[in-house]
A and B are shown apart, each in its own frame.
Chain A
Amino acid sequence: SSVLTQPPSVSVAPGQTATITCGGIDIDLKSVQWYQQRPGQAPVLVVFEDSARPSGIPERISGSKSGNTATLTINRVAAGDEADYYCQIWDSADFVVFGGGTRLTVL
Chain B
Amino acid sequence: VQLVESGGGLVKPGGSLRLSCATSGFTFSDYHMSWIRQSPGKGLEWLSYISGSSKADYADSVRGRFTISRDNAKNSLYLQMNSLRVEDTAVYYCAKDYYFASGSFPTDWGQGTLVTVST
Binding site for B on A (CB under 8 A): 30-31, 33, 35, 37, 41-45, 48, 54, 84, 86, 88-92, 94-101
Q: Are B104 and A100 in contact (CB under 8 A)?
A: no
Q: Are B45 and A98 in contact (CB under 8 A)?
A: yes
Instruction: Given contact pairs A42-B111, A48-B107, A95-B49, enumerate 7 new A-B contacts (beta carbons under 8 Å).
Output: A30-B102, A84-B43, A86-B43, A88-B106, A90-B102, A98-B45, A101-B43
Contact (A96, B43) CB under 8 Å given A31-B100, A42-B112, A48-B98:
no
Q: Return B105 CB to nearest CB of chain A, in Å.
A: 5
> Contacts of A43 on B, CB cut-off 8 Å?
44, 93, 106, 109
Say which size band chain B's interface belongs to.
20 to 34
Binding site for A on B (CB under 8 A): 34, 36, 43-46, 49, 57, 59, 93, 98, 100, 102-112
Q: Are B44 and A101 in contact (CB under 8 A)?
A: yes
Q: Are B109 and A42 in contact (CB under 8 A)?
A: yes
Specify the main secondary structure of chain B where it touches its partner: strand
Q: Are A98 and B46 in contact (CB under 8 A)?
A: yes
By beta carbon, the residue of chain A nearest B5 is: A42
16 contacts between A and B (CB under 8 A): A31-B102, A35-B106, A37-B44, A43-B109, A44-B109, A45-B105, A45-B108, A54-B107, A88-B44, A88-B106, A90-B104, A95-B57, A96-B46, A96-B104, A99-B43, A100-B43
CA of A30 to CA of B102, assembled, Å: 8
Query: Lowest 9 A-B CB distances belong to which pairs?
Result: A90-B103, A96-B46, A42-B109, A98-B44, A101-B43, A33-B105, A100-B43, A42-B111, A43-B109
